[in-house]
Structure 1
Amino acid sequence: MAADAGESVRLSVVIPAYNYAHLLRRAVDSVMAQLRPDCELLVVDDGSTDATPQLLAEAEALHRPGFRHLRQDNAGAAAARNAGLRLSRGDYLLFLDADDELLPGALDAVCAAVQAQPRASVFLGGRVTRRADGREKYHPPPAALAPDLCERLADYLLRKKIGMGHGSTIVRRELIARRPYPESLRGGEDIPVFAHLFAQGEFGTIAQPLVRIHKHADSLRHLARDSDGRMALLIDEIFRGLPASCERIRGAYAARRYLSLFRIALRQGAYRRAGRHWREAVRQDARQAFALRQFRKNLKAVLAGLLRRKAA
């Protein structure tokens, strides 16, 4: 039994959905199977053209109370998440992607952590990633965070010591309301939100894995569509409003992002675009572009591109 309209809600789970009807039921069922009286599930249909509206109507008839859904014109994942934020009643928010699933016991673990760590406004939980071939890997939350904001940011953006993602990050509602998802971005919109949480709240951890994240072709397709302009917009959004001392991280992070685009373009055989991304990576931070670890990745991508070109 979930919360009625007049009852207090501790946690709102928000799922933005766009043309994922074939996967959305799994996500919805994973939440509803463990819904508590102090939790709710909201699904925002971002103008889907598949069977998503019918699926959500059936789910609402089956699961009420505790389940609500909203349909809006297509405006992107950031706008859908912000719509869910406005509709939510919970003290805390957990955003779940439509192609992922909460693991059994996740909501109990979150609510227990909120009660045990009342000073924390952000919680980082464990997560499991599953590849298309069925292989899984567990990613625990960080054991501790650096006391310095810029070091935390570097651990998140550069060193990958802090894993933050939808399904395993729980945030006080007012923190997201203060800095909502940037609707100008149509990809990577979670990164600025997560980056700014380091400057706003005290962190708690949940060792239990909360979510299974499914890696598939659509997960990577958004990166391939990133243009130089969109990438610059993302980087500006991440660092906007952060202390000036954190600007030292900006060039290195930008170079890493452009190197990723460079490798994707090579694998696709888009050599002119790859060259443009490479030049921009060098301009942002040549040390990153020629670092040994990056060099190995780049060499592998170059060889893959050459093999593709030869096969064509």
Structure 2
Amino acid sequence: MTESVNFERGEMSTNNIASPLISVVIPAYNYAASLARAAQSILGQRDERTELLIVDDGSTDATSEVVKALHLGYPGQFRSIRKDNGGAASARNLGLRESAGDWLVFLDADDEFVPGALGKLAEHIQSNPDSRLVIGEHISVSEEGHRRRHKNDPIPDRGFERVKAYLLDKTLGLSNGACAMHREVFEQGGYPEHFRNSEDLPVFAQALARYPVSTLAEPLLLLYKHGDSLRHHVGHGQAVGTQVVDEVFSRLPAEMQSLRDDFYAQRCLSLFRSAYLAKDREAAKKYYSAALRNNWRLLLKASYTRKAIRLWLGKR
């Protein structure tokens, strides 16, 4: 697809700074209802060290009108781009190319930054010049408004252990908006634009594997949970399937390839679960069988085994 990009007139101000430290990029596709909240959470606290760039990924709702209203309310305080729809990965990659900061924060349009967190992040980066990935904390907000703070566990020193903790053990979590990545991280590759789901996994994995990591014991993000969020879209997950395994491990060093088989099996189990919940029996059977062929010990995972038994007995 040929990419069509539109920088609206008068919106190319770089906040009167030659080179910001942090660029916050908000990719937006049909999030008119929440985009202003996300953008204002940055505009209300940004200073000369930061810039904001909104990338409208060909929205068909009122997103473009929200962006125009934001420009009227905050003249010269941020930039915006409108492009043909290509998915979150393409919007993030465009934001990466068009932003000026050494550090990138990708904030989803349905979330928001915690007040005062941007300054704390900038101070942490300046105090940790060797770091290339900063992992902050986040606060999840349920549909009922309940809040829960998610604190960081200790981060392993070795890249191998960090990748294992992230991909397999699930003891290390990363969320867009709750972490910042230096531009050097993307020398290993940007977001895979042929994915409409799980596009973060290869980028987060390469950052953990190859670069110095630091943690910030402060919540950066309010992460809103809702059922229609694209991050939970079953159809996109099924479309990506196990391709993400090849993508992730094509970016990792040779000494980490030993983790591949276990990650493949785990990915199959995840796809099995999503297909099971979506009542797609054939897809669920396919992924569970693939997981077992890769690692028979998965039979010991009782929760998955119970679902599989119900599936083959025709009870689901």
Q: Shared fold (TM-score greater than 0.5)?
A: yes
Q: Tell me which residue corresponds to 2:106.
A: 95
What runs of 5+ residues in structure 1 fail to find an aligned partner?
none
Query: 1:87–1:308: structure 2 CA closer, same or farther, 3 Å change rule?
Result: farther
Query: 1:108–1:306: structure 2 CA closer, same or farther, 3 Å change rule?
Result: farther
Q: 2:270 aligns with which of 252, 260, 265?
A: 260
2:226 aligned with 1:216: yes
Please tell me whether the aligned partners of residues 163 and 209 of structure 2 are also in contact (alpha carbons under 8 angstroms): no
SS of corresponding position for 1:93: strand
CA distance in 2, matches of 1:122, 1:153: 13
| C-alpha deviation, 1:175, in angstroms | 2.1
* Structure 1 residues 138-170: Cα deviation after superposition (integer angstroms, max 9, x where no partner): 1122323232x2221110111112111101111
Q: 1:141 aligns with which of 136, 144, 152?
A: 152
SS of corresponding position for 1:57: helix
SS of corresponding position for 1:9: coil
CA distance in 2, matches of 1:178, 1:224: 28
2:276 aligned with 1:285: no
2:47 aligned with 1:36: yes
SS of corresponding position for 1:74: coil
CA distance in 2, matches of 1:305, 1:18: 39
Q: 1:73 aligns with which of 76, 84, 108?
A: 84
Please tell me whether the aligned partners of residues 25 and 107 of structure 2 are also in contact (alpha carbons under 8 angstroms): yes
Q: 1:181 aligns with which of 186, 191, 194?
A: 191
| C-alpha deviation, 1:6, in angstroms | 4.5
Q: Tell me which residue corresponds to 1:127.
A: 138
Query: 1:303–1:232: structure 2 CA closer, same or farther, 3 Å change rule?
Result: closer
Query: 1:18–1:213: structure 2 CA closer, same or farther, 3 Å change rule?
Result: same
SS of corresponding position for 1:290: helix
Please tell me whether the aligned partners of residues 45 and 71 of structure 1 are also in contact (alpha carbons under 8 angstroms): yes
- AA at the equivalent of 1:97: D
Q: 2:205 aligns with which of 195, 204, 213?
A: 195
| C-alpha deviation, 1:257, in angstroms | 1.8
Q: Tell me which residue corresponds to 1:114.
A: 125
CA distance in 2, matches of 1:303, 1:238: 32
Please tell me whether the aligned partners of residues 27 and 99 of structure 1 are also in contact (alpha carbons under 8 angstroms): yes
Q: Tell me which residue corresponds to 2:36.
A: 25
Q: Tell me which residue corresponds to 1:156.
A: 166
Q: Tell me which residue corresponds to 1:299.
A: 306
TM-score by length of 1: 0.90
* Structure 1 residues 227-252: Cα deviation after superposition (integer angstroms, max 9, x where no partner): 3x622221111000322332221121
2:57 aligned with 1:46: yes
What runs of 5+ residues in structure 2 fail to find an aligned partner?
1-12
Query: 1:270–1:215: structure 2 CA closer, same or farther, 3 Å change rule?
Result: same
Q: What is the alpha-carbon root mean square deviation over aligned residues? A: 2.3
* Structure 1 residues 29-61: Cα deviation after superposition (integer angstroms, max 9, x where no partner): 111111112211101000000000111011122
| C-alpha deviation, 1:303, in angstroms | 6.0
SS of corresponding position for 1:257: helix
- Residues 220-239 of structure 1 correspond to what in structure 2 (within 5 A)? 221-227=232-238, 230-239=240-249
How many residues are matched?
303
Query: 1:279–1:58: structure 2 CA closer, same or farther, 3 Å change rule?
Result: same
| C-alpha deviation, 1:216, in angstroms | 1.2
Please tell me whether the aligned partners of residues 142 and 163 of structure 1 are also in contact (alpha carbons under 8 angstroms): no
2:39 aligned with 1:11: no
